[in-house]
């Protein structure tokens, strides 16, 4: 077989060029490009780690700011509640004062009305006594033909009106 015989003659030459090619590839890629790629990977890893660290710091700062904001908001809310309670108290006191003033006016009007009613009752009772006394005197004068004293007639009418 001539191919195998020829293969043996070029075998050492092929190994030589194979070693040359792989050596060149090793030094070009392994010594030239791989360190650059590894440096790039290391820089990216460092950048990612720095970014993560910065993000963690930012998160902690945001948490602290949120906590302080919540504390301020709670204090503001408590202050607002206190103002509302104070305003309600003042409004209730003002309303109570107005109601007391109105009640005083109403009580005054009621007392005035009661005194007018009592005076009207006394006046009506006196008028009824007068009319009854006049009627009784006229009736006694017509029926019995007697002339009675005005004071006696009034006294008798008053006694009958009081005792019925």
Residue 3 lies in a domain: no
Q: Strands (DSSP E) along 30-164, which ranges?
A: none
> Under 8 Å CB-to-CB from 157, ≥6 apart: which residues?
129, 132, 133, 136
Residue 21 lies in a domain: no
Residue 48 lies in a domain: yes
For residues 140 and 146, is the Cβ–Cβ distance under 8 A? yes
> Distance (Å, rounded) from C-alpha 157 to C-alpha 140?
13
pLDDT digits (tens, 9 = 90+) for 118-135: 999 889 888 888 888 888
Residue 130 lies in a domain: yes
Handedness of CA 148, 150, 155, 156 (dihedral sign): positive
Residue 16 sits at the vertex; the CA angle it makes with 13 and 17, to the nearest 5 degrees, is 90
Residue 151 lies in a domain: yes
pLDDT digits (tens, 9 = 90+) for 11-32: 788 888 889 998 888 888 778 8
Mean pLDDT score across all residues of the chain: 87
For residue 41, give both structure tokens.
Answer: 């990977």
Question: In this model, does residue 164 exceed pLDDT 90?
Answer: no
**Which range has the worst mean pLDDT, 105-114, 118-127, 143-152?**
143-152
> Under 8 Å CB-to-CB from 46, ≥6 apart: which residues?
none
Residue 10 lies in a domain: no
Q: How large is the average pLDDT for residues 91-101? A: 94
Residue 18 lies in a domain: no
Residue 16 lies in a domain: no
Residue 1's pLDDT band (cuts 50, 70, 90): very low
Domain that holds residue 125: 33-163
User: What is the model's pLDDT at position 8?
Assistant: 60
Number of domains the chain contains: 1
């Amino acid at each position: 077989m001539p191919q195998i015989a020829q293969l043996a003659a070029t075998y050492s030459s092929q190994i030589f060029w194979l070693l040359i090619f792989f050596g060149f590839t090793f030094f070009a890629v392994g010594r030239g490009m791989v360190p650059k790629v590894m440096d790039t990977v290391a820089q990216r890893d460092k950048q990612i780690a720095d970014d993560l660290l910065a993000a963690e710091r930012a998160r902690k700062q945001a948490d602290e700011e949120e906590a302080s904001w919540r504390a301020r908001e709670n204090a503001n809310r408590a202050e607002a509640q206190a103002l509302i309670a104070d305003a309600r108290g003042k409004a209730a006191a003002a309303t109570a004062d107005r109601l007391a003033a109105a009640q005083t006016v109403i009580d005054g009007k009621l007392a005035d009305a009661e005194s007018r009613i009592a005076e009207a009752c006394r006046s009506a009772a006196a008028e009824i006594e007068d009319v009854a006394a006049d009627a009784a005197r006229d009736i006694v004068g017509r029926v019995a033909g007697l002339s009675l004293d005005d004071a006696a007639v009034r006294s008798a009418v008053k006694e009958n009106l009081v005792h019925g």
